[in-house]
Amino acid sequence: MTNFTPLPALIGGVLIGLAAVLLLYLNGRVAGVSGIMAGVMRMGGAERWWRFAFVAGLVLGGGLYLALGGNPVITIEAASAYIIPAGLLVGFGTRLGNGCTSGHGVCGVARLSARSLIATAAFMATAIITVFIVRHMIGG
Amino acid sequence: MPQIFAALASGILFGLGLGVSRMIDPSKVQGFLDVAGAWDATLLVVMVSALAVYAVGYRLVMRRPKPILGDVFHVPTRRDVDARLVLGAAIFGIGWGLAGFCPGPALTALVLGRTEVLLFVVAMLVGAALHDVLIERGKA
């Protein structure tokens, strides 16, 4: 069980929004993490390297958070048997559906894209159902 | 080369935001998805503030003829809602709910050095690559 933390959420959310605006303003690209990540594997040359830099930046950004005194402790509730299937589903599903929480959920919804609004509703719905089953029916 | 540094800067800011907002902690994400339990609205605040910033920033940036470091804006133009979109998003949601990780936070959380995070990220890359081999090769 976790507590509602609105202020860090607001600051973090603004940082995420600014990061996405920066990538659009400078490079003309959408900050969709799943697409960028897959592009590192799929693309060649310069198309690969800016994507690699973005992904490396995510990890470095996590490091900056820790360097600024961030909390390094996270709670992974999922049973270890779920980790690999979950990763496979996230990797496959975001490719099939052309996006994840960042590309559809933030960037797409912000410009009121019908595709992103529907995708976001779909992944929220199945995620909520999955958590309900895992936490309340199986009993995590 | 400047595009690579721009992507790196955007990624760092994005990762910092994911750290500050605690979206790197899967128990907080699952706390948001657990509408039948002790609901934690943090993710909602993160998403709304990020997309509010992006909604304004997107409109300002798109007034420009082109991005600062590129020739064209690469923004999605598709408007069709097809079965792949909904199915992909639904599959992604199941994985997201199971582990509490989506692509951005999982990559950022790599910095914490947890084995589960590394396993999830590797599985996510395999899932994405499987899609590209099975589905995209089938199309071509």
Are B110 and A19 inside 8 Å of each other by CB?
Answer: no
Question: Could you give the CA distance from residue A15 to residue A10 in angstroms, rounded to a whole number?
Answer: 9
Question: Could you give the CA distance from residue A93 to residue A96 in angstroms, rounded to a whole number?
Answer: 5
Q: How far is A101 from chain B (nearest CA, A)?
A: 7
Three-class DSSP category at B102: coil
User: Would residue A47 count as lying in a domain?
Assistant: no
Question: Could you give the CA distance from residue A27 to residue A23 in angstroms, rounded to a whole number?
Answer: 5
User: Would residue A67 count as lying in a domain?
Assistant: no
What is the ipTM for the molecules in this complex?
0.96
**Burial bucket for residue B49 (CB in 10 Å: 0-12, 13-18, 19+):** buried
Calculate ∠ Cα B30-B15-B13, nearest 5°.
140
Can you give the pLDDT at residue A44? 84
Are B37 and A37 inside 8 Å of each other by CB?
Answer: no
User: Would residue A91 count as lying in a domain?
Assistant: yes
| A-B contacts at Cβ under 8 angstroms | 503
pTM for the model: 0.96
User: Would residue A114 count as lying in a domain?
Assistant: yes
**pLDDT tens-digit readout, B44-102:** 999 999 999 999 999 999 999 999 999 999 998 888 999 999 999 999 999 999 999 99
Q: DSSP for chain A?
A: -----HHHHHHHHHHHHHHHHHHHHHH-B---HHHHHHHHHH--HHHHHHHHHHHHHHHHHHHHHHHTT--------S-HHHHHHHHHHHHHHHHHTT--IIIIIIIIHHTT-HHHHHHHHHHHHHHHHHHHIIIIII--
List the domain range (segments joined by +) for residue A97.
Answer: 77-140
Are B13 and A126 inside 8 Å of each other by CB?
Answer: no
Q: Looking at the partner chain, which of B86, B102, B119 has a beta carbon nearest the beta carbon of A90?
A: B102
User: Would residue A133 count as lying in a domain?
Assistant: yes
**pLDDT tens-digit readout, A33-88:** 999 999 999 888 888 999 999 999 999 999 999 999 999 999 999 999 999 999 99
Question: Could you give the CA distance from residue B23 to residue A13 in angstroms, rounded to a whole number?
Answer: 10
Are B57 and A77 inside 8 Å of each other by CB?
Answer: no
User: Would residue A48 count as lying in a domain?
Assistant: no
Are B88 and A51 inside 8 Å of each other by CB?
Answer: no
**pLDDT tens-digit readout, B88-139:** 999 999 999 999 999 999 999 999 999 999 999 999 999 999 998 998 776 6
A96: nearest CA partner in chain B: B88
Q: Looking at the partner chain, which of B20, B80, B84 has a beta carbon nearest the beta carbon of A8?
A: B20
Strand partners, A29: B74
User: Would residue A36 count as lying in a domain?
Assistant: no
Cβ B28 vs Cβ B22: under 8 Å: yes
**If contacts are CB pairs under 8 Å, which of residues 69-108 in chain B contact chain A?**
69-76, 78-81, 84-104, 106-108
**If contacts are CB pairs under 8 Å, which of residues 105-134 in chain B contact chain A?**
106-112, 114, 116-117, 119-132
Can you give the pLDDT at residue A1? 78
What is the mean pLDDT of the segment spanning A107-120?
Answer: 96
